[in-house]
């Protein structure tokens, strides 16, 4: 059992290091203003409600005939939630063809429209689905369901509702060999956790700058910072902040620091939920047998400094388990792209995804 020193590190990381994150990071996104809804635009597939999801009438946003967002409600998560879909250019023209699917999980403070900052996600080789993950949902079924946010069963929403809903309404190849989960930052945690929790669903996973080692006090502190809505801590890396505006929407209402995963302090087993869902735990990593695993990280700035450590820990433990993985540590970004400074931003994530998506397409094809 870790001693109070861990708690001291965690509190220090939360109140000191986290509030320094806002300095020195690169601008993130071009403005992603959504066009008005046009439910009658030709070419948009008709979706049928099911699996606990009900579409909100008149709320569909159509960006093009291969790029649109549905809005749904579910009893599992309070409120309305978008699901953005990118279809291959030939989807309509090949009605007899089925397609592999990649699920993209956005980062903390973000939303489904962040995906537009990485053009490679709109691939002609696969369907890409971007479900809302909440400003601070952490892709988890929360320990506390009575916070200001109400019901928060994000994992159940995604894995038992969104996935079968998509398979029922689009021409997917509905097996793990042709289904991937990809995420960055908070979504990088979600991607690796989902692949471990449901290896029957996902045969491919990629985590970019993910908080993937809950044994690190600094990563637990990052979760707490979002719970407590410490907007000064992560605003500069929020995926919901349009580039150059200087605005940050924050992480929604304050919730208890134990709301998502319970107590973060390893005293008398109080942090048992954190340990149970820790993507870096050897028992969880062992569930990735047969799953293609790719990890990307930089090492600059006050966030990716720690995601690099977490990535190396996961890689080392997978090696010990005899499980293959591909790690791309692009350091200061100079080997990745001119836009990348090695920090926690789309200047790095967009070219990383441009590297990954063609590899994923090849992996899908190899399993066909």
pLDDT tens track for 20-79 = 333 333 333 333 334 444 444 557 899 999 999 999 999 999 999 999 999 999 999 999
Q: What is the 3-state secondary structure (H, E, C) of the chain?
A: CCCHHHHHHHHHHHHHHHHHCCCCCCCCECCCCCCCCCCCCCCCCCCCCECCEEECCCCCEEEECCEEEEEEEECCEEEEEEEEEECCCCCCCCCCCCECEEEEECCCCCCHHHHHHCHHHCCCCCEEEEECCCCCCCCCECCCCCCCCCCEEHHHHHHHHHHHHHHHHCCECCCHHHEEEEEECHHHHHHHHHHHHCCCCCCEEEEECCCCCCCCHHHHHHHHHHHCCCHHHHHHHCCCCECCCCCCCCCCCCCCCCCCCCCCCCCCCCCHHHHHHCCCCHHHHHHHCCCEEEEEEECCHHHHHHHHHHHHHHHHHHHHCCCCCEEEEEECCCCCCCCCCCCCCHHHHHHHHHHHHHHHHHHHHHCC
Mean pLDDT for the chain overall: 88
- Residue 15 or 338, more confident: 338
Residue 267 has pLDDT above 60, yes or no: yes
* pLDDT at site 233: 52
Angle at alpha carbon of residue 50, lines to 47 and 55, rounded to 5°: 55
* pLDDT at site 6: 60
| 254 band by pLDDT with thresholds 50, 70 and 90 | very high
Calculated CA dihedral for residues 162, 165, 171, 172, nearest 10 degrees: 40
- Residue 7 or 315, more confident: 315
Residue 286 has pLDDT above 50, yes or no: yes
* pLDDT at site 103: 98
* pLDDT at site 229: 87
Which residue range(s) make up the domain with 69? 4-366
The Cβ-side half-sphere exposure at 229, using a 13 Å CA radius, reads 12
Mutual angle of helices 301-320 and 217-227, in 10-degree steps:
130
Give percent of the chain with pLDDT exceeding 70: 83
| 133 band by pLDDT with thresholds 50, 70 and 90 | very high
Residue 241 has pLDDT above 80, yes or no: no
The Cβ-side half-sphere exposure at 146, using a 13 Å CA radius, reads 0
Beta bridge partners of 103: 129, 181
Instruction: Please tell me the distance from the alpha carbon of residue 191 to that of residue 360, in angstroms, as a whole number.
Output: 15
Q: Which tokens go with 276?
A: 């149970």
Q: State pLDDT tens for residues 75-94.
A: 999 999 999 999 999 999 99
Q: Which tokens go with 248?
A: 């940050």
CATH number at 270 reads 3.40.50.1820
- Of 98, 26, 32, which is closest to residue 63 (Cα–Cα)? 32
The count of structural domains within the chain is 1
Q: State pLDDT tens for residues 300-358.
A: 998 999 999 999 999 999 999 999 999 999 999 999 999 999 999 999 999 999 999 99
CA distances for 221 relative to 195, 250, 269, angstroms: 23, 16, 18
């Amino acid at each position: 059992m870790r001693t109070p020193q861990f708690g001291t590190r965690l509190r220090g990381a939360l109140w000191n290091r986290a509030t320094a994150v806002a300095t020195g990071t690169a601008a993130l996104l071009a403005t992603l203003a959504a066009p008005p809804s046009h439910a009658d635009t030709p070419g948009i597939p008709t979706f049928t409600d099911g699996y606990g999801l009900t579409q909100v009438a008149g709320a569909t946003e159509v960006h093009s005939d291969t790029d649109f967002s549905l809005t749904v409600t579910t009893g599992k998560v309070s409120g309305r939630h978008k699901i953005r879909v990118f279809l291959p250019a030939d989807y309509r023209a090949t009605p007899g063809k089925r397609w592999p699917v990649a699920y993209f999980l956005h980062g903390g403070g973000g939303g489904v429209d962040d995906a537009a900052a990485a053009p490679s996600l709109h691939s002609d080789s696969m369907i890409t689905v971007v479900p809302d993950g909440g400003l601070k949902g952490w892709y988890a079924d929360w320990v506390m369901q009575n916070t200001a946010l109400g019901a928060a069963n994000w994992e159940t929403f995604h894995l038992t509702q969104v996935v079968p809903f998509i398979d029922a309404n689009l021409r997917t190849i509905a097996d793990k060999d042709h289904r991937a989960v990809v995420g960055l930052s908070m979504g990088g945690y979600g991607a690796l956790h989902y692949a471990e929790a449901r290896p029957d669903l996902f045969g491919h996973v990629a985590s970019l700058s993910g908080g993937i080692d809950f044994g690190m006090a600094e990563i637990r502190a990052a979760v707490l910072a979002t719970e407590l809505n410490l907007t000064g801590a992560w605003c500069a890396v929020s995926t919901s902040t349009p580039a150059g505006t200087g605005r940050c929407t924050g992480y929604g209402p304050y919730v208890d620091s134990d709301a998502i995963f319970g107590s973060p302090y390893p005293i008398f087993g109080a942090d048992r939920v954190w340990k149970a869902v820790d993507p870096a735990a050897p028992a969880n990593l062992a569930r990735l047998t047969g799953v293609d695993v790719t990890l990307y990280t930089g090492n600059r700035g006050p966030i990716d400094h720690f995601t690099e450590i977490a990535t190396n820990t996961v890689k080392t433990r997978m090696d010990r388990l005899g499980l293959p993985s591909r790690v791309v540590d692009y350091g200061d970004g100079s080997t990745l792209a001119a836009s990348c400074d090695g920090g926690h931003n789309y200047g790095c994530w967009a070219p990383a995804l441009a590297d990954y998506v063609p590899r994923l397409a090849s992996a899908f094809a190899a399993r066909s």
